[in-house]
Amino acid sequence: MKRRITFVQPDNAPFDPSQAELTASALSVRALDAAREDRITVGLDELPEESQLRTVLRQSHELHLRWSTERSYHALAPFASRVSPGLHVFYTPLSSDRSSETLCPLLRAAFGDGVDCTNPEDSFITPPLLSTRFAASASLQFHTRLPSLEPLVEFIGRTACEQRKDSACLDNARSLRSADSLDIDYDSISHTLTLTGLWTSPPSGGWTEVVRKPISDADQVEFGLLSSDKAVDLEELKMGGLLAVVGKDKKLKPTMFSFPSRHHPLPKEASYEVSFPPPTGLHPTLSISMPQSSLQRPPAPDHATCALHTYLTLPSTVFGDQYQLGTSDSLFLQSHNLVALRALAGETDLEAPDWVIPRWGSTWLLELATPKTETTEANWTATIPLHLRYLDPSESGYRSADIPWPVVFWACTAEDGTKMGTNPFDRTNLGWDGLFGPRTMFFQLQPSPSAKLVEHIDVPVMRLRGAEGLFQARNIELGTVLVVGLGFLWVVLRLVRVAWSFGVGSKRHGGTSRTKKD
């Protein structure tokens, strides 16, 4: 097993050399103000032989899980990339004609029974891979709302830590409760499973921890304490600080390095806010409001072409009209501050109610318009008309639809020959990155601080009980049957009348002909 712990301090964070001390057997940090990434890599042969996880991985060409919290957080370099809140699963089976039958049971066991997944063929969608050269794009995609990683914490403790009777394992698992994001990656080429947790801000009082030397010589713990600096090339990120291998190095070693990066952060002022202006009804409009600082061209090279985009991850309860959003009508697009619908995947049936939709939902990539000239308005708003599906009846007459915030970012072309894969913090398989070329640079807007990144909408449905007068469920049901029955009888009567008229007319015509002949 290999573990890599990286602390990245913001520019204004204080640091004293005594806050990080390395001995022959351990490394300790004290009151450290920094973001933290903790990455654990294990080989497939290190997993228990009969474990459900190992069975799934053996049947997978690649499997990538991305989870993000519903809390708003500020991400600094090199951790700028984002996905919408919830659990995202990107999966390619080892055999193209058969997926793993145990993947969905594993997801439910690890993340809770709320994961509505039966099997990949019925529950996953197929994303549009516009960049065929982007080899890291999986063939199937799934998303579900997951406010907490508590089920995963219990699963790790039950399946991994208790068998090993490892208290440090339990502590590491429990720390996921406060994580801002979690990535789990596997591919059949390396045969390694990687878990990466990110905490963008320290706990109260800062990070204070002792990391001990691994017991086994085959295990390794790498430590890094870094901060970002201004890179020479705009495509690159530059980091500097201290590195060490716990139990092998005698002292922390200074380092300075730079690398091309797909994902770049923008200042806190470059933010956005999402809302659904009331009344929402059955046709809500998603509103993305951005200050002027979000509309300024990102710090990409002068030769780069940049455009502002948003990527929506919509549950099955809500959907967009592909014909409406995919229109070339300039008046419609300008009225919503949109440029074009660039990609979509998933459930787009305009008439189907939610209870007949087999898959989890849909994804939408739209290019947003920006002001052509300077404007005095404080905020710039792009709006996306959506539609709610008919949901099951309820006793209250309402059901809820929870819609995660989309991600909003600038996409800029990078110079030919730029090798993004040299980034030690590289992050792919986010759903939207595979819709661009492999050398595209992304500049992420920050969600509004203190906002919850899930919007809640009350959807009107038929009321089962408690309604008064004519609008009782029983009356509506009987009225529907009566109207359908009367309509059917009317159609039959019209058909009979036409047939009768045709028969009478034929007889009259035949009689007249015989009279003239005689």
Q: What is the average per-residue pLDDT within 489-514? A: 72
| Lowest-pLDDT choice from 164-168, 268-272, 295-299, 324-328 | 164-168
Q: Which amino acid is at 191?
A: H
Closest CA to 311 of 78, 151, 83, 9: 83
Q: How much of the chain, in percent, has pLDDT values that exceed 90?
A: 60
State how far the Cα of 493 lies from the Cα of 446, in Å rounded to an integer: 65
Identify the pLDDT of residue 418. Answer: 62
pLDDT digits (tens, 9 = 90+) for 67-76: 999 999 998 9
Identify the pLDDT of residue 462. Answer: 78
State how far the Cα of 257 lies from the Cα of 243, in Å rounded to an integer: 12
Q: Where are the domains of the chain?
A: 2-260, 271-460
Closest CA to 400 of 434, 354, 348: 354
Q: What is the average per-residue pLDDT within 390-419? A: 86
State how far the Cα of 200 lies from the Cα of 66, in Å rounded to an integer: 16
State the pTM of this model.
0.88
State how far the Cα of 271 lies from the Cα of 263, in Å rounded to an integer: 16
Contact assessment for residue 398 and residue 463, using Cβ atoms and an 8 Å cutoff: no
pLDDT digits (tens, 9 = 90+) for 17-32: 889 999 999 999 999 9
What number of other Cβ atoms are within 10 A of residue 397's Cβ? 18
Identify the pLDDT of residue 518. Answer: 47
Identify the pLDDT of residue 510. Answer: 58
Q: Residue 372: how many CA atoms within 13 Å on its side-chain side?
A: 4
State how far the Cα of 434 lies from the Cα of 242, in Å rounded to an integer: 34
| pLDDT score of 412 more than 70 | yes
User: pLDDT class for 437, splitting at 50, 70, 90?
Assistant: confident
| pLDDT score of 278 more than 60 | yes
State how far the Cα of 214 lies from the Cα of 221, in Å rounded to an integer: 7
Average pLDDT across the chain, whole number = 88
User: pLDDT class for 134, splitting at 50, 70, 90?
Assistant: very low
3-state secondary structure of 169: helix
Q: What is the average per-residue pLDDT within 228-247? A: 92
pLDDT digits (tens, 9 = 90+) for 197-232: 999 999 999 999 999 998 888 889 999 999 998 888
Q: What is the average per-residue pLDDT within 39-66? A: 90
Residue 31 CB partners (closer than 8 Å, separation 6+): 19, 205, 206, 207, 208
Q: What is the average per-residue pLDDT within 105-120? A: 93
Q: How much of the chain, in percent, has pLDDT values that exceed 70?
A: 90
Q: How many residues belong to the chain?
A: 518
Q: What is the average per-residue pLDDT within 235-252? A: 93
State how far the Cα of 265 lies from the Cα of 273, in Å rounded to an integer: 17
Q: What is the average per-residue pLDDT within 91-102? A: 82
More confident residue, 421 or 401: 401
Q: What are phi and psi of 77, to 5 degrees?
A: -65, 140
User: pLDDT class for 66, splitting at 50, 70, 90?
Assistant: very high
Q: β-pairing, 318-319 with 192-199?
A: unpaired
